[in-house]
Amino acid sequence: MKIAPGVIMYKISVIPGDGIGKEVMEATLHIMEAVDLNFDYEFTDAGDEYAAKSGIPLSEETIDIVRSSDSCLFGAAGESAADVIVKMRQELNLYANLRPVKSYPGTKSLFSNLDFVIVRENTEGMYSGIEEETEEGATATRIITRKASERISKFGFEYAVKTGRKTVTAVHKANVLKKTDGVFKESFYKIAQNYPQLKSNDFYVDATAMYFLTKPEIFDVIVTTNLFGDILSDEGAGLVGGLGLIPSANIGDKLGLFEPVHGSAPLLAGKGVANPSAMILSAALMLNYLDEVEEAKKIEKAVVKTLAEGKIVTRDMGGNASTMKMAKEVKKNLENL
């Protein structure tokens, strides 16, 4: 799909949020200027700073702005993250959280040639939000439904088909969480029957955590529940060189919200030293979602080139460039592809 110059094409809601969220967002929007598409940005606010002004971290108005856009770019929230990002995932039914784990040259990746994707169920599980104080302490309710488990499994298999991947692995703990993960595992294999061309298998989450360190190359597409996916994706980030590099997508049936896996990193905030790559690659995931695959590839290539050259990179990558300086380098590389 090609567009005439000057025609507004995509309506993108933008939530920079708190801390380094604002800095990596500014850097990313700078790079988006070099993308051969037109965007109509609608800026809105959420997070700790917004709560300090308004009394609430996330307003209905912001949710409506996101809902009526084609996609949302989200930076990070601070302490209010659960009331912002977790709430948006639930309210907007962004049920699939896609987190690629990819090793790039020039990074501190523990392995070369890693390329797998974690598909995390985003709406229920341990993060269903139901916690209660009891006389003895507190309890949390882990909700696993057939509907959400089948939906996330189908998403994983469809994603594998679309991106030419071969194996889909369910990660669970059905030997202990017999009922809840029993449902999850059963739902996964029910859906797997519709994809005989793909290999499907399953592992326990604790074994998976070890395999990430001992033989991560066995993974291709992982489908898992909310908390396990959260933990494994940070481990995945550690595998390939840190949180500054890992993008993510929250996808529903009508909308996608794209954000770095990292948070507001208060220790780095305000210093202009955060690595913008995770946010930039999140924008690339957004373009993929919008079926602008060529432009998405170009952004990724420009980031990869910048990292591989390793000269103008932020300090987490061993350099001393500022967030904006690295972004300018990525933009230059994008323009010269």
At position 225, the amino acid (one-letter code) is T
Which residue has 């695959």 as its token pair? Answer: 293
At position 63, the amino acid (one-letter code) is I
Helices (H), the chain: 20-32, 48-54, 60-67, 81, 87-91, 146-162, 180-192, 205-214, 226-239, 277-289, 293-309, 323-335
Residue 20 in the binding site for ligand NAI (CB under 6 A) = yes
Sign of the dihedral defined by the CA atoms of residues 206, 209, 212, 215, in that order: negative
Looking at residues 40 to 79 of the shown chain, list those that interact with ligand NAI (rule: CB under 6 A): 76-79
Position among 45, 181, 230, 316 found at the interface with Mg ion (CB under 5 A): 230
Q: Which does 230 bind (CB under 5 to 8 A by kind): Mg ion, ligand NAI, none?
A: Mg ion
DSSP state of 262: S
**Number of separate helices (H) and strands (E) present in the chain:** 12, 12
Q: Which does 3 bind (CB under 5 to 8 A by kind): Mg ion, ligand NAI, none?
A: none
Edge to edge, what strands does the sheet with 39-43 contain? 39-43, 10-17, 71-76, 256-260, 247-251, 96-102, 115-121, 221-224, 167-172, 199-204
Between residues 65 and 170, which has the closer beta carbon with respect to ligand NAI?
65
Between residues 97 and 323, which has the closer beta carbon with respect to Mg ion?
97
Task: Say how far apart CA 70 and CA 64 lie, in whole Å.
Answer: 12
Question: CB of 255: closest distance to ligand NAI in angstroms?
Answer: 17
Considering only 47-55, 168-176, 228-236, 315-323, which stretch makes contact with Mg ion by CB under 5 A? 228-236
User: Which string of x and - marks every residue 156-175 that binds ligand NAI (by CB under 6 A)?
Assistant: --------------------
Position among 35, 65, 265, 284 found at the interface with ligand NAI (CB under 6 A): 265
Residue nearest to ligand NAI (CB): 263
Question: CB of 162: closest distance to Mg ion in angstroms?
Answer: 25
Residue 307 in the binding site for ligand NAI (CB under 6 A) = no
At position 119, the amino acid (one-letter code) is V
User: Which string of x and - marks every residue 236-255 that binds ligand NAI (by CB under 6 A)?
Assistant: -------xx-----------
Q: What angle do CA 71, 72, 77 make, to 5 degrees?
A: 165
Question: CB of 130: closest distance to Mg ion in angstroms?
Answer: 19
List of residues contacting ligand NAI (CB under 6 A): 20, 24, 76-79, 81, 85, 243-244, 259, 262-268, 274-275, 278, 316
Q: Which residues bind Mg ion (CB under 5 A)?
A: 230
